[in-house]
Chain A
């Protein structure tokens, strides 16, 4: 429940925590990329912006769960970079998350409109 005792940023953080996996997997499904680029891409969406201290442990966790794979690749600028990609299992997890997210949005929209 949102009330005056829960500032907007705290509420936003709680939502971000729940949706971080979905946001990261969706961005990586579009295109493989490296950690700092992923942080920049998330920063382009202020509601989903996360610090690198949040993103890297999250990537580690998704990798340990078998949803991501990594590979070093040469960079045209500077040293090689570690790129993250979705594994087949990651793609399946993303599909399931998307379906759940659509259900949540539909149901929550209905509740908000009713009120």
Chain B
């Protein structure tokens, strides 16, 4: 990473470094470590460590547009959820869960709705902006789309979890479900963008070999 990189590029380089075998890399923002989805994909045999010269630089526009569909779908589903079921939901909804999946705090339906809508609509807008800006470098677009995807899927998952019947019931799987919502879609998005970039590089090179 270099100091001149934008936040989107830093996120992309931290989350997707397939040539680097380390599973955890220093975070793009703040302290701690981020999962290197590129190393995970290489270990699972889904992509080669050197599949792209520069990750996401050759990824076509169509792949970025396709990647933005998931956060947009999350935002649309959240809007529809509160639009259709909003009135029938309890006046208070869970806002925090303990390690065992028990509800430890609640908030008003209005606050919960605004939080969930903000957490899905704004990231979806970010992903759409990145997907539609052709002049923005590929790594930055990928980082922004991935960030938007992660936030939107967590927002949508939180919306679903808040609306489960019998909120007092302990559900051990809530923590794993939120982790899955945070990591699996963003990993799949980055893998898809990288495979599209790889395919574009192959097409370019094989065309000039002929």
A109 CA / B21 CA spacing, docked (Å): 37
A52-B206 in contact (CB<8A): no
A59 CA / B20 CA spacing, docked (Å): 11
A35-B206 in contact (CB<8A): no
User: Cβ of A71 < 8 Å from any Cβ of B?
Assistant: yes
Q: Which chain B positions have C-beta within 8 A of A92?
A: none
Q: Which of A82-108 contact B (CB under 8 A)?
A: 82
Q: How large is the interface on B (under 10, 10 to 19, 20 to 34, 35 or more residues)?
A: 10 to 19
Query: Which segment, of B48-56, B70-78, B87-95, faces chain A?
Result: B48-56
Q: Label chain B's interface by main secondary structure.
A: loop
Q: How large is the interface on A (under 10, 10 to 19, 20 to 34, 35 or more residues)?
A: 10 to 19
**Partner of A82 from B21, B50, B209 at Cβ < 8 Å:** B50
User: Cβ of A16 < 8 Å from any Cβ of B?
Assistant: no
Known: A57-B19, A57-B20. A35 touches B50 (CB 8 A): yes
Known: A53-B21, A56-B19, A57-B19. A35 touches B209 (CB 8 A): no
A70-B50 in contact (CB<8A): yes
Chain A residues in the interface with B (C-beta under 8 A)? 35, 51-53, 56-57, 59-60, 63, 70-74, 80, 82
Chain B residues in the interface with A (C-beta under 8 A)? 19-21, 48-51, 53, 201-202, 205-206, 209
- Further 10 A-B residue pairs, CB within 8 A, beyond A35-B49, A51-B21, A70-B50: A52-B21, A52-B49, A57-B19, A57-B20, A59-B19, A60-B50, A72-B205, A73-B206, A80-B202, A80-B205
